[in-house]
Structure 1
Amino acid sequence: MITVLLILCLQAEPAPAVTNAEMFALQGENNILEEEHFGIINGLATIGVKYKDAASLCGFWSPPYVSSDFSLEITLFGEKVPANRYAWRPFEVTREGTLGKIHVLTAATLLYQYRAGMLSLSLKNTGDTEVQAPLHLAWGGTLDQTEVWEFSRPQSQTPAPAMLLDKGLKKTQGACVLALQTDEKTIAWDADASSGSTRITLAAGEEKTIHLCFGMGDASIVETCRQLLTDSPNQLGQSRAEYTKRVEDLFTRLPRLTSDNPALETFYTRSLVHFLTNRWETPEFVLHPYYGTGSIKGGCVCNYLWNFGEVWELLPLYDPRAAREHIQQFLKIDITRHFAFIPTRGDAFGPWYMVNQEKIIGLIYFYVKNTGDADFLKEVVNGRSVLDWVVLNALHGDDPAGPVQLIDYGPSNSHLELRRGYPYNHIMPDLNGRRYMNYCMAAELCALMGAPAPYLKERAEALKLLLKQELWDPDLRWFRFKDAAGNTDLRYTVQLFKLVNSPVLDAEQRAGLLSHLNETEFLSEFGLHSMAKTDIAYDQVDIDNGGGGACTCFPPQIAERLYKSGHGREADDILRRILWWGERLPYWGDSLVANGMDYRKDTPLQCTLDGVTPAQCIIFGLFGVDAAFNGDITFRPQRTALASRLKLTGLTIRNNTFDIEVAGEEYSVRCGDRQIRAALPKALVFLAQEKEFHVSE
């Protein structure tokens, strides 16, 4: 049975229709992710998988347990079996290779609901005579337990000698246990060498399958692995069924995109995989479920507000309860001093980050807009209502008793973290510009709760005038920044494009910024540069903010803002350059390169939660979906050169479900048995009280 399953998932020809089971599969010939960053996850554990050979695993993390140097290598005839084909799914990698007359199919599968996985090894003699194949297993790894899950992958250091089990080995270090067991009775185990050996005899055409179960946890993991092996095929089937169920659940909560541009469809779909890969179900964590900044191979499992805040529109549709709980957890820590919390304890760590206030306000604002849960604003966290926290953060660094001032953020270069010493600090235009919407969002939420605060909007308008007066350079059509002495300098950072749909800009400034969105400065064949190629601070190897590419969330965020401000052509131009992301990587990490088909490698964040921002961009930008606080929903799809036909099916927002279909210059929106058509660029509004549509100019 396992052979049939493996052959099916390794077929080169695409299936006529992609099933839920194969929705996120990536064939190895399309993958550019290096082995060091390649792995799988099941919500409780994550492990690295080597794809150059057919049967090796490396590194095992299951918070709070760590075996960072875990290794399992299987050889035949004293050699690793080279993998000539492989396929990835979030919880499983299948590999295929041949050594001599032995054809090898393997499946490395993390079993849902367990801190355990299974390596299935299927050997087939393709020759016409009997073969005796020496098989050797080498198993190693230190073992530790830690509550500290921050940016880096936790590293284990404590040696743990192997001890014999009935059909395998175990390592014990304090309360931590690492187990490896098998259903193959002929394997002779050597605890001193931490290995096992046997000789597999296969008649001509004969096939044999061996299952190895590995797990990590407390002492009960030994019995867990033994029990799992008593019914290996069924356990594998259950995990595959559970994975399919999770994919189905994802698309019950979020819409599917279909299009006559397959690359756009793949890009959107691949984006959503990060809700599966970055969802942790760890009992020892303070939130259940917990959406970490990172996941694969234990990298960046903590929660950074600068990352979590990027999914502010979409997470409330997918998991509104988790959105609430994560917001509350961030409010429990002092985000005027810290930028993250550790998932095991909920403790704050790290310094204050300058975008904290924008992120927490946006998270609360879009949660209320997209769910209708205004009562959330009344909830009390650490002695303040959520609404009070919104106002407090909108005024952070401001003195409401006096006139609005541009904030001096100090000498730290942490906003861009440029590596070559060039500054971007003190009075920065993008950060000060974002304060405008912080005021406006806070004012809207206050009005919603019957506590109007007109002074917030007044301060926003005063800030707008001051920003132009103090920092706008009309000749260069760009904003300057000021140092502590009042001297100005220029940094052509992509961050300024995040203001394009904000009323903080007037028409002159918006046109000026967009004049720089060209191939000489910010655009290359494969993406958007975080620093203009003409800036003296440009650094090719500093991918995220220094120029060589951009943080994964930046291009789709800016494209979404361009769509919302009516600049669809520019938005299309960004997206068309990054559609390759969906076809060449199983998941997306911290940053991707703009002038090559590549990604940032010098970071443990190789699977980032804000990878969902392309889907967010397409729903709320390209399709122009916008919920009002009264429950009305506006649909304003944009003309796009990316596809002539595209459809969102099953968009559930504010307790109503919609299908939106664009065909050429027309589009339609359906809700239940009600459907209405309109010509682009007119907007359609669904009136929540009347349950009817009307056309808006």
Structure 2
Amino acid sequence: MTGYQIGDFDFDLRRGVAETLWTTSGWSTAALAPGTVCGVGACYAPPYAAPLARLAVVLEADGTRITDTGAPGMHGTGLLPAGGTWRLDGIERRGTYHRRHEGRLVSLLVRSELTPLHGRAGYALRVVVRNRSGRALTLRLLPELTAGPVGEVPLGQWGWMPPEPAAAPDQASLVHEPSSAAIEPGDEATFDLAVLLDGGGPGGSPGEWAGESRALIGRRTAGALERIPRLTTDVPGLDAYYRRSLASGLVCLWDNPAFATVPFPATSGIDGGALCAYAWDTGGYAPHTLALLLGCGVADVLEAMIKGDLTDHYAIAPDGSGTGVAYAYSGWSLVTLAHAAACHDGIAPDLVARLHETEEQLALRFPAVGELRDYGAQENLLEMRSTGWEHVVASPNAERAWSLELLAELTEECDAPVPAAPLRAQAERIRGAVAHDLWDAEAGWFRSRYPDGHTELAYSVQAYDALRAGACTPSMATALLAHLRDGAFLGPYGVSSVSAEDPLHYELGDVDWSGGGAYTGETPQLALTLWERDEPRLAWDVLRRVLWMGGHFPYFPQDHYCDRPAAPPRGRRANVIAGLTGAEAVLLGLAGIRPRVDGALDVMPPAWLPGVLELHGLHYRGHEIDLKLSAGHCEASVDGRVIHSGAPAPLRILGEPDE
């Protein structure tokens, strides 16, 4: 078997560095109570929200009360956590209690299984207690639920921040089976509980609901991973990073039928926040990997985003309604995702035409400055906390040129009713204007131009997106790449969104876009850019800096520091779909895979590799592709038949060679 199974994404909790861990079924999501063996915190199951909920468990063994509070240090005299496993279908924890009371030993091994429910709003918790005391015990399990306000929040109001229901008489309901048992030495007692936010439905029990949900999560995971290739490599840390990148995408997929699409690719959502779908995160970072996960569902996502009017909003809420302000990157992101969808599954001509109309209307939303557009202030761009990368900027003006090129390609391939030649001509004019109007040759960087004539140098990582979009001459590219060095954009654990050498804009309070770290998709996207430019050693030098994340996060957070192995502790989203960019960089960069809109598939093996790389079971256009790459050798197989084995070279493994 070449593909991934659900157990391939298990994560040892002892390695985790996230402040709080969550689990999701794609219908419900719940948080661990930190430091506990059985405790559960907030729960969200749109439209239901219980942000202050907490389930605590107390054990009573022959009258001895054993708490599970997660108290640290010498005060931790209750149940003591001893590890566990995060899984795609839930979280398993274990703990120990080993103390004497009045000269008699009470020794218990406690395991819990937290399962987010699917088809029901809430979660199930199984607690298994083994008696190690050497004598029979009478055991009682005493669950304590503190729910706080629980209520329905309309799907259109699930934006960037987790929703807070108004104080209401609604309460979560605790369902549990018999909570006492007599257990002999070495025997176990099992207790099943559930917390439901919607009152639940008829029939079944917590244990049955958990079993049904885990089975369903397994099926939906297998379906999403069906076309994803398995990675085998001798490069330390790469396999774990690739798997955790894929897990980051899987935990963003929701399939509540009340949502605008099924599955619905939320930007984040595991902590209740950013359950909306940004075009930028959805299509701008890992469009090909997302297309592999969603299959033909990508077209539904594109239709929903067009309908939600991203010419005036940055995202669509779960119900498909638009939310937020117009975002400068939305047009390019939609086109990029559509281009990937066309490569993998094809798209309809009328969708291409509507995408062109959306891109054009979004551009008109921002004032023209010659061939370029004034994309406004921070709310429409990066949301940096300093003035700098605003108004007429290299990126996303350069991305707009790129999107017009991609639209021209889609128009010709899909026979859409859009003239391609004017699109290409306009793209060329925009790229020329980016280089002529914004480049500062003395600084070796792009300037931003403000309506009052003020210009500013902001050393933002976004300049490398202009490079990727083809807006740089060779000398400009050389100048930009010179800034990719330690102490500037590069840190030991990633990339800084603003160069540490920028005295005006670099700061440590906004890791996302103002320095000291970056949005999680930025480092692998920069590496991919370098692979696309045939800079394999520099590309690897960039990507290797974030491989630590694969060993310490079960899914990737919104952003992380670049000078220490950590993520900001509070106020950021716990997960992000742009975490898929790691897999995108491996597939399209390190492995050199190049899908084409005509259904062909090229491989451009890098001239240098950090080790052996094998990909098994890439499903593309009805074929199964295997690749084996190493220094000086490339082997490609299609449907089990070796079609090339020899020196690395540009290779078309599906489709007819170009004339």
Q: Same fold (TM over 0.5)?
A: yes
How far 1:499 sits from its partner (Å)? Answer: 2.7
Distance 2:196 2:485 in 1: 51
Larger deviation, residues 496-505 vs 291-300: 496-505
- State whether residues 404 and 463 of structure 1, in contact with CA within 8 Å, keep that contact through their aligned partners in structure 2: no
Is 1:79–2:73 an aligned residue pair? no
Is 1:58–2:23 an aligned residue pair? no
How far 1:379 sits from its partner (Å)? Answer: 4.2
Which residue does 2:387 correspond to in 1? Answer: 422
SS at match of 1:61: strand
Which residue does 2:350 correspond to in 1? Answer: 378
- State whether residues 143 and 158 of structure 1, in contact with CA within 8 Å, keep that contact through their aligned partners in structure 2: yes
Which residue does 1:311 correspond to in 2? Answer: 286
Q: Which runs of 5+ in 1 are unaligned?
A: 1-16, 161-172, 187-199
Pair 407,385 (structure 1): closer, same or farther in 2 beyond 3 Å: closer
- After TM superposition, list the pairs within 5 Å mapping 1:223-302 onto structure 2: 223-224=202-203, 227-229=204-206, 232=207, 236-302=210-276
- After TM superposition, list the pairs within 5 Å mapping 1:269-418 onto structure 2: 269-309=243-283, 310-344=285-319, 346-373=320-347, 376-379=348-351, 385-390=354-359, 392=361, 397=366, 404-412=370-378, 414-418=380-384
Q: Which amino acid aligns with 2:540?
A: D
Which residue does 1:204 correspond to in 2? Answer: 185
Distance 2:563 2:316 in 1: 34
- State whether residues 617 and 624 of structure 2, in contact with CA within 8 Å, keep that contact through their aligned partners in structure 1: yes
Q: Which runs of 5+ in 2 are unaligned?
A: 60-64, 69-78, 100-106
Pair 67,503 (structure 1): closer, same or farther in 2 beyond 3 Å: closer
Which residue does 1:565 correspond to in 2? Answer: 533
How far 1:133 sits from its partner (Å)? Answer: 4.7
How far 1:447 sits from its partner (Å)? Answer: 2.8
Distance 2:219 2:137 in 1: 41
- State whether residues 361 and 393 of structure 1, in contact with CA within 8 Å, keep that contact through their aligned partners in structure 2: no
How far 1:228 sits from its partner (Å)? Answer: 2.2
Which residue does 2:73 correspond to in 1? Answer: none
Q: Which amino acid aligns with 2:112?
A: T
Which residue does 1:169 correspond to in 2? Answer: none
SS at match of 2:433: helix
Distance 1:560 1:418 in 2: 24
Pair 418,322 (structure 1): closer, same or farther in 2 beyond 3 Å: same
Q: Which amino acid aligns with 2:49?
A: V
Distance 1:94 1:28 in 2: 9
- State whether residues 249 and 576 of structure 2, in contact with CA within 8 Å, keep that contact through their aligned partners in structure 1: no
Is 1:468–2:445 an aligned residue pair? no
Which residue does 1:591 correspond to in 2? Answer: 559
Pair 680,550 (structure 1): closer, same or farther in 2 beyond 3 Å: farther
When the two structures are superposed, what TM-score results if normalisation uses the length of structure 2? 0.89
Distance 1:243 1:412 in 2: 39
Distance 1:34 1:673 in 2: 45
Which residue does 1:184 correspond to in 2? Answer: 178
How far 1:494 sits from its partner (Å)? Answer: 0.4
CA-atom RMSD, angstroms? 2.5
SS at match of 2:427: helix
Q: Which amino acid aligns with 2:303?
A: Q
Pair 458,113 (structure 1): closer, same or farther in 2 beyond 3 Å: same
Which residue does 1:3 correspond to in 2? Answer: none
How far 1:113 sits from its partner (Å)? Answer: 3.8
Is 1:612–2:590 an aligned residue pair? no
Distance 1:525 1:439 in 2: 37
How far 1:413 sits from its partner (Å)? Answer: 5.7
Which residue does 2:195 correspond to in 1? Answer: 214
Distance 1:349 1:630 in 2: 35
Q: Which amino acid aligns with 1:223?
A: P
Which residue does 1:44 correspond to in 2? Answer: 27
Distance 1:404 1:628 in 2: 33
Pair 295,385 (structure 1): closer, same or farther in 2 beyond 3 Å: closer
- After TM superposition, list the pairs within 5 Å mapping 1:16-27 onto structure 2: 20-27=5-12
- State whether residues 26 and 89 of structure 1, in contact with CA within 8 Å, keep that contact through their aligned partners in structure 2: yes
Which residue does 2:90 correspond to in 1? Answer: 92
Q: Which amino acid aligns with 2:152?
A: Q
Distance 2:648 2:301 in 1: 37
Pair 337,394 (structure 1): closer, same or farther in 2 beyond 3 Å: closer
Match of 2:158 among 130, 149, 153: 149
How far 1:604 sits from its partner (Å)? Answer: 4.7
How far 1:673 sits from its partner (Å)? Answer: 4.6
Which residue does 1:646 correspond to in 2? Answer: 613
Match of 1:668 among 608, 618, 635: 635
- State whether residues 256 and 650 of structure 1, in contact with CA within 8 Å, keep that contact through their aligned partners in structure 2: yes
- State whether residues 398 and 405 of structure 1, in contact with CA within 8 Å, keep that contact through their aligned partners in structure 2: no
Distance 1:413 1:490 in 2: 19
Distance 1:151 1:662 in 2: 41
Larger deviation, residues 321-330 vs 627-636: 627-636
Q: Which amino acid aligns with 2:39?
A: S
How far 1:153 sits from its partner (Å)? Answer: 0.9
How far 1:359 sits from its partner (Å)? Answer: 1.0
SS at match of 1:210: strand
Distance 2:452 2:209 in 1: 67
- State whether residues 590 and 603 of structure 1, in contact with CA within 8 Å, keep that contact through their aligned partners in structure 2: no
- State whether residues 317 and 371 of structure 1, in contact with CA within 8 Å, keep that contact through their aligned partners in structure 2: no
Pair 603,325 (structure 1): closer, same or farther in 2 beyond 3 Å: farther
Kindly, what percent of the aligned residue pairs are identical? 25
Is 1:480–2:447 an aligned residue pair? yes
Is 1:496–2:463 an aligned residue pair? yes
- State whether residues 427 and 482 of structure 1, in contact with CA within 8 Å, keep that contact through their aligned partners in structure 2: yes
Larger deviation, residues 200-209 vs 603-612: 200-209
Distance 1:145 1:355 in 2: 32
Which residue does 1:685 correspond to in 2? Answer: 652
Q: Which amino acid aligns with 2:260?
A: V
Which residue does 2:103 correspond to in 1? Answer: none
How far 1:393 sits from its partner (Å)? Answer: 5.0
Distance 1:299 1:452 in 2: 41
How far 1:40 sits from its partner (Å)? Answer: 0.6
Could you report, residue by residue, the CA deviation over 1:342-373 in whole angstroms, capped at 9, with x for unpaired residues? 113x2112111111121122122222123233
Distance 2:479 2:190 in 1: 65
When the two structures are superposed, what TM-score results if normalisation uses the length of structure 1? 0.85
- State whether residues 78 and 135 of structure 1, in contact with CA within 8 Å, keep that contact through their aligned partners in structure 2: no
Q: Which amino acid aligns with 1:498?
A: D
Which residue does 1:11 correspond to in 2? Answer: none
Q: Which amino acid aligns with 1:64?
A: P
Which residue does 1:166 correspond to in 2? Answer: none
SS at match of 2:36: coil
SS at match of 2:478: helix
Q: Which amino acid aligns with 1:377?
A: P
Distance 1:555 1:457 in 2: 30
SS at match of 1:336: coil
How far 1:273 sits from its partner (Å)? Answer: 1.1
SS at match of 2:51: strand
- State whether residues 678 and 695 of structure 1, in contact with CA within 8 Å, keep that contact through their aligned partners in structure 2: no
SS at match of 2:126: strand
Q: Which amino acid aligns with 2:420?
A: A
